[in-house]
């Protein structure tokens, strides 16, 4: 999943650095992920994983690192399956 997230960050995150150089726990906001960039990443994640983030999860914390995004996606998938 983290590779898919890295791909999405590379395509949609408009990061000034290459997404494949980012560690799983690297701070994406510090790496240059803007609010508008994170919105596009969010939309792309929803399409890729066939999920819809609930409003309460649409915040900076859940998009702060590749690990945080993976955890958020898993949480939505788990909730959808329950």
Partner 1 sequence: MCVVCADVEPTTLLEQLISHGILIDTGIDGIYGRSGVFEDVIARFEDLVTRTGAEGANPMAPEVMRFPPAMNRFHFERSGYMKSFPQLAGTIHSFMGDDRGHFDLLEKLQNNEDWTGQQKTTGVVLTPAACYTLYPIVAKRGPLKSDGALFDLQSYCFRHEPSKDPARMQMFRMREFVRFGKPKQVQTFRAAWLEKGEVMMKKLGVPVHVDLANDPFFGRSGRMLKNNQRDQGLKFEMLIPIESEEKPTACLSFNYHQDHFGTTWGLIDADGETAHTACVGFGLERVALALFKHHGLDVDAWPKSVRKALWG
Residues that bind partner 1 (CB under 8 A): 34-36, 38-39, 42-43, 55, 58-61
Q: What's the token pair of residue 54?
A: 């609930």
Quote the DSSP letter at residue 35.
H
Q: How far is CA 31 from CA 25, 67, 72, 74, in A?
A: 11, 15, 19, 23
Smallest gap from residue 64 Cβ to partner 1 (A): 11
Smallest gap from residue 23 Cβ to partner 1 (A): 23
Q: Residue 3 or 16: which CB sits closer to partner 1? A: 16
Smallest gap from residue 5 Cβ to partner 1 (A): 17
DSSP letters of 10-40?
HHHS--SS-GGGS-TT--TTTTT--HHHHHH
Q: Residue 18 or 39: which CB sits closer to partner 1? A: 39
Q: Residue 3 or 56: which CB sits closer to partner 1? A: 56
């Amino acid at each position: 999943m983290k590779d898919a997230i890295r791909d999405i960050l590379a395509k949609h995150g408009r990061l000034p650095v290459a997404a494949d150089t980012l560690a799983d726990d690297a701070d994406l906001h510090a790496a240059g992920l803007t609010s508008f960039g994170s919105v596009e990443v969010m939309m792309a994640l929803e399409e890729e994983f066939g999920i819809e983030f609930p409003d309460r999860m649409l915040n900076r914390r859940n998009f702060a690192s590749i690990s945080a995004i993976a955890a958020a996606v898993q949480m939505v998938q788990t909730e959808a399956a329950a």
